[in-house]
Amino acid sequence: MFKKILIVAAALLTTACSLAPYENFDSKVVQGKQSMRLVSQVSQEEMVKEFVPSNSGSSAGAQFGLVGALVGSAVDASVNNSRAQEAEQMVEPFRNALLDLDVRSLVYNQLAENSARIDWVAEINPVMEQLESGKKPEEYVLGADEDLVLMVDTHYSLKPGTEVVEFVAAYALYDRDAVRNSGKSKSKPIYSNTATVQSYPHNGSIRRLTESEKEAERLALEERYPTGEDVGKNTRARNQKYKNKALSKLDKKTLSVPGYNPNGSVWLANDGALLRQEVQAAPSLLASMVIKDLIGEYPLPELAEGEKRKHAKVPQVLEELDDGMVITRQPNGMLLSKHRDAPVYTTFGNVF
C-alpha cells in the first residue's frame, strides 16, 4: 500500500510539472459536426454521506513488513467498516426525506433544457442512461448514432460534517469518429471538466468574517492600539506594529458558526424543508454551469498581446449571485459554486 502511495505521488508530481495551463473548450474543434447525444447519468439511487476513510493502519503497519502491512490493512478495513455503518445509519433520515424526489430526472431535465443553448451543433438528443458496470465511456461512444457524445456523470452527497449538500458533475465531450479512428485504449475526450455545487451552508461549521464584522474589528483594533499624537513615541510604534499584525490576519480570520450540529438536524426540520429545497435547486445551477462552460459564457481572463497563458494561482470569479453564492473557476479549470463566506467543504475538512 505504502509503495503504491509513493508511486502515485511521484506520478502526480511529474504530471503537475508537465501539465499545460487550463484552456477553455473551443467549439472550432467540433465544426461540421451535425448531431450530439447528451447522456445524463446519475449512478446512485439515493443520497450518500461521505466519511473520512482511514489509511493510517496500513501506512503505519508497512514499516513492519508484509505482515505488518496486512494487519494494518485489516485495521483500516475494520475502522472504515464502522465508519461506513455509522454514515449509512446517519444518512437514512435524509434519504427518507427525499424518498419522493427523482433526482435522476431533475438532473436530466435541467441538462436537457439548458442544452438547447448550445449552438455549435444542429441536433441534440438528450438521454438518461445508466452505463453498464465496467463499460468504458469510449465503448459507449462507439455505439452512438450521433457525431458527438457529451457524457455528464453526476453524483450528490452530504459532506462528512453535514455542512452542505454537494452536487458534482463530471462531463466529457467525445467525437465518435476520433474514438473510432484512434482505437479504444488511446481515445480521449475533446474536452472534459467538472462542475461542483456546494449548497448554502445551512449547517455551516466555520466562516470568514463579513465586511461589517471586519470593519468592527478594525475599529476595535484602533481603540485597543491607539496611534494618535497623544500617545508616546515608543508606545505608538509598538501599537502600530501590533495593529498591523492583527489587521493582516483579518482577511483569514474564521469564526465558528454557533448552532452547528454535526448530525445536520437543521436539514431535517420541517419535513426536510431545507434539504429538499437545496436538492431541488442544485441540478438547475449545475446544468447551467456545465452548459455555460461549453458555450463560452465563462471566458478565461484576456491576455495581453504576445502574452502566454500561465497556471492560474487564484480562482477566477465568474458569477456573483444575489444570495451570496459565487461561481468561480478554480486554477485547474474546474467550476465551483459556493457561498462567498463559507469554505470549500471537503472529505477531509474545509479549505478557504
Residues found near other proteins in the complex (CB under 8 A): 43-46, 48, 51, 53-54, 57, 64, 67-68, 70-71, 74-85, 87-89, 92, 95-96, 99, 104, 130-133
Q: Smaller CB distance to other proteins: residue 61 or 333?
A: 61
CB of 93 to other proteins, least distance (A): 9
Q: How many CA atoms lie within 13 A of 35 on its CB side?
A: 9
Q: What radius of gyration do the chain's Cα atoms show?
A: 25
- For other proteins, the closer of residues 60 and 246 by Cβ is 60
Dihedral sign (CA 309, 312, 317, 318)? positive
Angle at the Cα of 342 from the Cα atoms of 336 and 345, rounded to 5 degrees: 65
Q: Give the residue with the Cβ less far from other proteins, 95 or 238.
A: 95
Nearest distance, CB of residue 294 and other proteins, angstroms: 26
d(CA 168, CA 50): 13
Parallel, antiparallel, or unpaired: how do β-strands 191-198 and 165-175 relate? antiparallel
Minimum separation from the CB atom of position 11 to other proteins (A): 22
Least CB distance to other proteins at residue 284 (A)? 22
For the record, the C-alpha cell of 304 comes out as: 495581453
Q: Helix, strand, coil: what percent of the chain each, to 5?
A: 45, 20, 35
Sign of torsion over alpha carbons 28, 170, 262, 55: negative
Burial class of residue 40 in the structure, from the number of CB atoms within 10 Å of its CB (0-12 exposed, 13-18 middle, 19+ buried):
buried
Assess contact for 183 and 213: CB atoms under 8 A. Answer: no
Residue with Cβ nearer other proteins (68 or 349): 68
Give the residue with the Cβ less far from other proteins, 67 or 314: 67
CB of 175 to other proteins, least distance (A): 25
In the complex, minimum distance from the CB of residue 69 to other proteins, in angstroms, rounded to a whole number: 12
CB of 172 to other proteins, least distance (A): 17
Residues shown for the chain: 352
Cβ atoms of 298 and 117 within 8 Å: the answer is no
Minimum distance, C-beta of residue 91 to other proteins, in the bound complex (Å): 9
Indicate the residue among 29 and 84 with the shorter CB distance to other proteins: 84
Measured from the CB atom, the residue of 54 and 288 that comes closer to other proteins is 54
| Residue that the C-alpha cell 502566454 belongs to | 308
- For other proteins, the closer of residues 85 and 280 by Cβ is 85
What H or E segment, with its residue span, contains residue 9?
A: helix 2-18
